[in-house]
């Protein structure tokens, strides 16, 4: 019996392939005659996403079309391989260094700010406390960066990269590969930005104001 989650996985896979080629797509609703091999692969992918809850399923399926070739076709079996996981990681790294003033990056940073606000509300902490909070001696901002809940541009807006640097280069690169390279590149981009820097600054001022009314 195919589960609702597995149906979502299959449809996310279909959408990514069609959208990459700017073709219209239609979600599959009838799964009664599903190929047995596809059924097995969906089970494997469901297990993958359960073991790695931080993976964004839609981004995972679109990744190879941006890292490799939009004209290629990637079947379900490809997405069960280590190559696909590496591709996803590389794609996320590429996105970190996109033009900071692009609509996509600005929208992504807004979502990061919303995550930070909700996290602070749930924990009952201020934005300043969030910047310095650690768990098991790991700054929570670094943990959230590793989990792709916030990005490097958001980190620059928070102004807490010095706190993160205190844990040491080796551990940094273990938790977030190429951290020092990306933090330096994105810092330059962030400082040169015209739109993003303003959007992030205003977002954090609003977050501070809202959190004060809740405490």
pLDDT at residue 214, as a whole number: 67
Query: What digits encode the pLDDT tens for the residues 51-78?
Result: 988 888 999 999 999 888 766 889 999 9
pLDDT at residue 72, as a whole number: 80
Is the pLDDT reported for residue 98 higher than 90? no
Which of 80-94, 103-117, 141-155, 166-180 is least confident?
A: 166-180
Q: Could you say which DSSP state residue 193 is in?
A: -
pLDDT at residue 206, as a whole number: 94
The helix (H) or strand (E) run that includes residue 205 is helix 196-214
Mean pLDDT of 71-95: 89
Query: What digits encode the pLDDT tens for the residues 193-212?
Result: 999 999 999 999 999 999 98
- Report, in angstroms and rounded to the nearest whole number, the Rg of the chain calculated over CA atoms: 19
Query: What digits encode the pLDDT tens for the residues 137-185?
Result: 899 999 999 888 999 999 999 998 888 888 888 888 888 888 888 899 8
| 42 neighbors 9 (Cβ within 8 angstroms) | yes
Mean pLDDT, all residues of the chain: 90
pLDDT at residue 162, as a whole number: 80
C-alpha pair distances (Å), 109 with each of 55, 116, 173: 18, 11, 23
Mean pLDDT of 100-109: 92
Mean pLDDT of 43-49: 95
C-alpha pair distances (Å), 146 with each of 37, 160, 181: 33, 15, 15
Where exactly are the structural domains of the chain? 4-95, 99-214
The helix (H) or strand (E) run that includes residue 114 is helix 103-123
CA distance 41 to 27: 18
pLDDT at residue 8, as a whole number: 95
pLDDT at residue 143, as a whole number: 92
Highest mean pLDDT (candidates 33-37, 45-49, 160-164): 45-49
């Amino acid at each position: 019996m195919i589960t609702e989650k597995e149906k979502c996985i299959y449809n996310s896979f279909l959408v990514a392939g069609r959208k990459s080629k700017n073709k219209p797509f239609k979600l599959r609703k009838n799964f009664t005659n599903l190929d047995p091999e596809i059924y097995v692969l969906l089970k494997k992918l469901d297990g993958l996403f359960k073991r790695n809850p931080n993976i964004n399923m839609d981004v995972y399926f679109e990744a190879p079309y941006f890292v490799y070739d939009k004209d290629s076709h990637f079947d379900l079996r490809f997405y069960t391989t280590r190559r696909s996981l590496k591709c996803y990681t590389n794609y996320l790294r590429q996105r970190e260094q996109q033009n900071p003033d692009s609509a996509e990056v600005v929208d992504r940073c807004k979502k990061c700010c919303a995550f930070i606000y909700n996290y602070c509300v749930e924990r009952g902490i201020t934005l300043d406390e969030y910047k310095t909070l650690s768990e098991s001696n790991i700054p929570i901002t670094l943990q959230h960066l590793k989990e792709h809940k916030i990005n490097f541009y958001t980190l620059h807006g928070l102004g807490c990269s010095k706190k993160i640097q205190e844990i040491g280069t080796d551990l940094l690169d273990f938790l977030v590969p190429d951290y020092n390279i990306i933090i330096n590149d994105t810092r330059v981009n962030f400082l040169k930005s015209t739109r993003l820097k303003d959007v992030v600054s205003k977002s954090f001022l609003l977050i501070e104001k809202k959190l004060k009314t809740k405490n």
